[in-house]
Each structure stands twice: as structure tokens, then as C-alpha cells.
Structure 1
């Protein structure tokens, strides 16, 4: 009977050593469960600090999450930190590959910055609650008109409360080894608020994380914070060209930081609904 308690202690390390599929699911389950536990810890801390929903709660969330990368065997190699020292509000845009992007976001998150995320996230248990407490702006990706209204309100909030917003302009997760065409939402937001855009590019996860192949190894993520792109004086007529310019500079840097070929890369499209993820 006593030996039965020892068996799992022996089997788990053996599977971690011999089965990449087991490692994949073990790390994924650990990541989700641990993040929910951290959110449970963060909820009362945020309520005590700010009394409720407040972008300043992102400091607490950032502090609690930053160590998670070590448990998953991940490291970040960052260049361009100085570009985040821009004064006042701005819009950060970055590529979106998986739920692991949360770790990169928390690694780079400047003060008084929150994000725009899909509305469904608010129903994700303790994680949804902490997202709401952190001032995250939720958007319904299925309703373009609602998304535009939220963006207009977000632009006003940025200026009134002097906050920064992080947006994933691809609109959904992408592990194809390129960038998906950008949605216009982040660029309308920046133009309406007349604030700069700061692009952040994370290298491809393909060297350590492959969802379809069920591989999740240790790895280093290259991160480039690019110089700000000004929007002062721009109008809604300039949104498409602003989108294209941002896409091109991010795509070039994604290829460089990921050390991949530029062959068969998707061409950006300026049209499409205003959504983000």
C-alpha cells in the first residue's frame, strides 16, 4: 500500500523525461492552474489597494506573474527598453501567438498600462475577475459597431486618466510563423486620442512551443521594443497608411528577431472589422 504513494513520484519524472506530449500537457495545465491561483491571491490585494477596478492594480498583477516564466523554462531577451520611457499615454501594439503572450506582456508592461481583450475573458473564473480589477477594456469582437464604440470610449479614457493601452492588432492567436493582417481598431484608437503607437515584437515561439505537435520545451523569447510612431495631426483618413507602416516595420523585425525567411509571408490588408484580442 505504501508503495502506491511512491509510484506517482516515480512516474511523473519518468514521463517528463521520456514523453514530449506529457510535458506539453503538464506545462499547459500547470500554467492555467497556477495563473488562476495567482489571480485568487491578487483579488483581495487589488481590492485592498484600490478599492475595486483601477489600472494601478496592474502593478500588483505584474509583480505576481513575472516569476511564472521560470517555472516554464522561459527567458526574455529584450532590446529597446528606452522606447517605453515615452511620457504620457500611448498605444502598444504587439504580435499574438498564444496564451503565453501574457508572460511577455507582464514582462514589458509599463506603469499605468492595461490592455484591450476579448469580452469572453471576463468569464474565465478568477482570471476574469482580476482582469476586470486591472482595468482591462473588454471588447465584443463579433459586433463591429460595439467594438468601435468601445474604442472611442477608450480613447477618451486614455486622455482623461493618462493611461496606456496594449492591443493585439492581429485580432487572434497566430502560430503560422508570420503576422496576420492587422485590424484597424488600435490605429483608430491612437488617431482619435492623438497619441503615439509603440510596436513591440516577440520572436516566434516555434523553437520551443508547437501546439499542433504537442511540444513545449525551454526557450528564449527575443523581444524588440521599436521606436514610437507619432499620430499627431492624423485623421481617420490616415488610419490605413498608419496600419500599413506599422505592419511593415513589425514584420521586418519579427523576421529578424525570429531568424526566419521572408518567403510566403502574408500581405497586410487594411480592411476588416475593428476587433482585437
Structure 2
């Protein structure tokens, strides 16, 4: 029995559904994103192994080149302010808000040199994706074992100073698309104080106008990115962590809410009030 007519019919039906149904388009685009991640990770792994021979932060420039190409497939644009603030000579901890699977594209769009990420250990076992993360120098922590995670973070604090590394962490700890920021976990801040390195907050505007899991929306869109001023930790101790968390959280939340406003909302805020003539 010939399968080609059935396969052709199934493909045509899928294309029709994608055209007619927003839900179908959403899942088709998410599926394509997963396929791109797996296939590009496999190719990038080969390039990294041929270029550098194994696990090294230098592979991140190769990974970044591959991932940044995703934005052209999905029609995403980035408007970045303060990018130069990431070009510090020494080590630092970079923190940013965490919204969806698209965060990886945003991260790679502005990734500075010699920067590694912290990721949950489960991602290490995701085939080519886990392999490319390992080759790029990503540090994996087991969130189910607090003591093990603390040991990894402590070792990383020494290593980032020794090897002049920047470390990128999502302090919310999980994806969040509720239109605000979740409370921050303290690991990134303990790490910065231990190493006595500055914290650089990075804020991405809300994706909700073009990517929304609840409403099955996935279209092209513009992402506004703002790199905030570095927060020094020189002289701080563990006793200062709570205040440090509060300071970073408030500045990032203010920036997030401002960036996520529509241009019309921003113009309404900035427009001076009209005072009636007396």
C-alpha cells in the first residue's frame, strides 16, 4: 500500500490547520522550536568539539551564533539599552527575569564574553541539548538536594574569580509569565558576596503581547532589554543578603513594568498634564 498519498494528505491537513487555527499555529511553532534546539545543538556540538576539543566557556560564542539565528525564524526583534554595561573586565554575576522557552534567545542576544549559566541538573540529560550545554561550560545544580547545590555554588564562586568568568543566573528559579516578577531566591546573591563581585541586573520586557501559553498566542514581536547599573558587593557579608535581594528586586521590577508598557502607555505617562486656564 502506497503511503505517500496519506502522508501528503496529512501534511496538507496540517498546513490547513496551521492557517485556520491559532492553537495549531502555536503548537506548530513550539514544535519547530524544539526541533531547532535539538538539531542545532547536535551540529553545534560537533563544531565545538572540532574547534576546542571539549568543555570550555569559549564554546559559548559558537552556541550564541547558532541560537541567535532563531530570532529570524520567529520574527523577533530586540531593542537593547545599556549593553556596554556587560563589558566589564572582571568577573560578575548577571541576573535576569525568566519568562519562557524564548529566554534562551534573549540571553544569547546579549551574552558577554566568558559567561556561563547556572541550570537545573535535569537539562544535562536532554540529549544533544544537554551535551551542548555541558560543552559550553554550563554549571548544573540539583535543586532537590540543597546541600549539593550549595557546594556547587561555593566551588563556582572560587572558580569564577580564578578563571575570570561571568555567571548568568535566573533568581526567580523558574519560568514566570504572570506579568510580574516572582520573589528572588538568594543563591545568586550569596555567590556574588562570596566572590566579592558586582551584580549586573538585566531586564526583559513581557512577552505576553506575542507569546502566551494560556491563549496559545505565538507571533512575531519586539523584546525590549535594559541592562541596569552594576550593584557592588565589596565589603558585604552574608548578613547583607536580604537587603541586597530587595534592592535588586525592586530596581528590576520597576524596569520590567516600565519596559512592558506599550508605547502609548509610556507616552501617556511622560506627557505633561494640561492645566485648565484660570
For residue 231 of structure 1, what is the aligned residue in structure 2? 233
For residue 124 of structure 1, what is the aligned residue in structure 2? 126
Q: 1:80 aligns with which of 74, 82, 100?
A: 82
Task: Structure 2: state its 5+ residue gaps.
Answer: 266-278
For residue 96 of structure 2, what is the aligned residue in structure 1? 94
State the TM-score, normalized to the length of structure 2. 0.90
State the TM-score, normalized to the length of structure 1. 0.90
Q: 2:43 aligns with which of 33, 37, 41?
A: 41
For residue 184 of structure 1, what is the aligned residue in structure 2? 186
Q: SS at 1:92's partner residue?
A: strand
Question: Shift of the alpha carbon at 1:50?
Answer: 1.7
Query: C-alpha distance in 2, partners of 1:119/1:10?
Result: 40
For residue 140 of structure 1, what is the aligned residue in structure 2? 142
Q: 2:176 aligns with which of 169, 174, 177?
A: 174
For residue 198 of structure 1, what is the aligned residue in structure 2? 200
Is the counterpart of residue 218 in structure 1 residue 220 in structure 2?
yes
Q: 2:246 aligns with which of 244, 247, 257?
A: 244
Question: Shift of the alpha carbon at 1:12?
Answer: 4.1
For residue 50 of structure 1, what is the aligned residue in structure 2? 52
Query: C-alpha distance in 2, partners of 1:108/1:8?
Result: 40
Task: Structure 1: state its 5+ residue gaps.
Answer: 262-277
Structure 1 stretch displaced more, 70-79 or 183-192: 70-79
Give 1:65-76 correspondences, 5 Å limit: 65-76=67-78
For residue 64 of structure 2, what is the aligned residue in structure 1? 62
Structure 1 stretch displaced more, 44-53 or 128-137: 44-53
**Aligned Cα root-mean-square deviation (Å):** 1.6
Return the index of the structure with the highest Cα Rg.
2
Q: SS at 2:215's partner residue?
A: coil
Question: Shift of the alpha carbon at 1:45?
Answer: 1.2
